[in-house]
Amino acid sequence: MTSRTCLSVILAAGEGTRMKSALPKVLHPIAGLPIVAHVAKAVHSAGGSDIALVVGRGADAVRDAVQSVVSHVTVHEQTERLGTAHAVLAARDAIARGYDDILVVFGDTPLIETAALDRARAKLARGADVVVMGFRPDNPTGYGRLIEKDGKLIAIREDKDASDDEKKIGFCNGGLMALRGDSALQLLDKVTNANAKGEYYLTDVVEIGNALGKSVIAIDIAVDNVIGINTRVELAEAEAIWQNRKRRAMMLAGVSMQAPETVFFAHDTLIEADAMLEPHIVFGPGVSVATGAVIHAFSHLEWAKVGPGANVGPFARLRPGADLAANAKVGNFVEVKNTRIGVGAKVSHLTYLGDATVGADANIGAGTITCNYDGYNKALTEIGAGAFIGSNTSLVAPVSVGDNAYVASGSVITQNVPADALAFGRAHQVNKEGRAVQLRAGYAAQKKARKAAE
């Protein structure tokens, strides 16, 4: 298949009014990636690396979404909505460049799989001129029926026009199509708008192709491949299907999950074999988890790296730039941002580390905070290998704690701590005998006066 050139025409000009959104329909995300970008990834994987993107509203944003995953994209605006064939012909210049295969897909079908597109292209390679991708729903009512005879597709009959016998056909039109490149424009240019709506329908190429003696066939693909997104309900349903596919693929690749239905992945989540995922975990974009790592329950990760054998959570949050080396530990109610945690280092609980480095085998006590932001700028905190930071310590950046140094609990550290030193940063304690009685009396009087004034 690699010797055959391929253009993928992605139709993404629909208004998407039923989404009830200012955002173009095809830009709504599934697993953190716009719908149309999922389609672009699938066709690219099927060898359709050249993409003709047919756009309408939000053209620039739609183009940017596609170009975030593939590079060879030309943009073609459909200024009028005159049917699917009209939309494909908006990309006439791209089609005319001369490709072996043309894939026509919709920008709102994010669940199309590369394997289905590969099958369609394989049929073109074996001599077909038109390949329609069909599916078999539980209830075909409302769908156009694919009418076959002697292994050939002879017509697509809309449900409202179908005879009683034709309505019994369970093989339905999915809308996606593959065309032989040297036949595509010949077929498309013969499509007319002689119908009740006055539109140019892509489905007409089936009967046109048969009339011209072309080879027109249909292939059967899974129902979820052709699911289009028109409402937020359908968006959520597609998300669920995508997540189930990802969970299954992860487990088959060697990732353990105790309750897979509670784990949610991003489109680019990478997890190596023998990692363990407990229930109720959310992966945002840009996360990689190495072999032997354990992500405990109720953790949230995005743009983070988890090294081999590392432990995260429960109830941990890894924000962008969190980087855990091998066997590092980030425990419950710990938040890490833009911080490298060294081999075997432990941050066990109730801690915030931001804009910091933590050396190998360091121990960070509960309640430790890196004070990294002064309201205008971020500053770095450096904690050396083997350092011990006592509980409830505030490290006021920029500051460094040397290798094997100790910081006493309850300290506020504003100056660098040398290696092997012990640092105390506590205020001097003063006790005022009986002052609490006076304070309570004063506070009570203030409260009484305030209520009297109300």
Each of the 454 residues of the chain gets a pLDDT tens digit; together they read 458 999 999 999 987 889 999 999 999 999 999 999 999 999 999 997 799 999 988 899 999 999 999 989 999 998 888 899 999 999 999 999 999 999 999 999 999 999 999 999 999 999 999 999 999 999 999 999 999 999 999 999 988 888 999 999 999 999 999 999 999 999 999 999 988 788 899 999 999 999 999 999 999 999 999 999 999 999 999 999 999 999 999 999 999 999 999 999 999 999 999 999 999 999 999 999 999 999 999 999 999 999 999 999 999 999 999 999 999 999 999 999 999 999 999 999 999 999 999 999 999 999 999 999 988 899 999 999 999 999 999 999 999 999 999 999 999 999 999 999 999 998 887 888 988 899 899 989 999 998 999 8
Is the pTM higher than 0.85? The answer reads yes
Domain ranges for the chain:
6-226, 254-423
How far from 438 is each of 20, 67, 432, 434, 447, CA to CA, in Å? 61, 69, 11, 7, 14
Q: Residue 114 has which token pair?
A: 């590369």
Q: Does 11 carry a binding-site annotation?
A: yes
Q: Does 323 carry a binding-site annotation?
A: no
Outline where 148-202 has alpha helix (H).
Answer: 164-167, 181-188
Question: Which residue, chain included where needed, has tokens 């960070």?
Answer: 364
Q: Beta partners for 413? A: 395
Q: Does 450 carry a binding-site annotation?
A: no
Asked if 6-226 and 254-423 have one fold, the answer is no
Q: Does 422 carry a binding-site annotation?
A: no
Task: Identify the CA nearest to 173 among candidates 199, 200, 151, 206.
Answer: 206
CA atoms of 425 and 384, how far apart (whole Å): 18
Please tell me the predicted confidence (pLDDT) of residue 2.
59
Q: Does 337 carry a binding-site annotation?
A: yes
The contacts of residue 288 (CB under 8 Å, 6+ apart) are: 269, 270, 271, 304, 305, 306
Q: Beta partners for 432? A: none
Q: Please name the amino acid found at residue 118.
A: D
CA atoms of 119 and 125, how far apart (whole Å): 10
CA atoms of 399 and 383, how far apart (whole Å): 9
349 carries an active-site annotation: yes
Q: Does 426 carry a binding-site annotation?
A: yes
Q: Beta partners for 332? A: 349
Q: Does 14 carry a binding-site annotation?
A: yes
Q: Does 235 carry a binding-site annotation?
A: no
Please tell me the predicted confidence (pLDDT) of residue 197.
83
Q: Does 78 carry a binding-site annotation?
A: yes
- Which residue among the candidates 44, 86, 300, 349 is catalytic per the annotation? 349
CA atoms of 44 and 447, how far apart (whole Å): 70
Q: Does 311 carry a binding-site annotation?
A: no
Please tell me the predicted confidence (pLDDT) of residue 37.
97
Q: Does 392 carry a binding-site annotation?
A: no
Q: What's CA 75's distance to the chain center, in Å? A: 23
User: For 254-423, CATH number?
Assistant: 2.160.10.10
Q: Does 12 carry a binding-site annotation?
A: yes
For 6-226, which CATH class? alpha beta
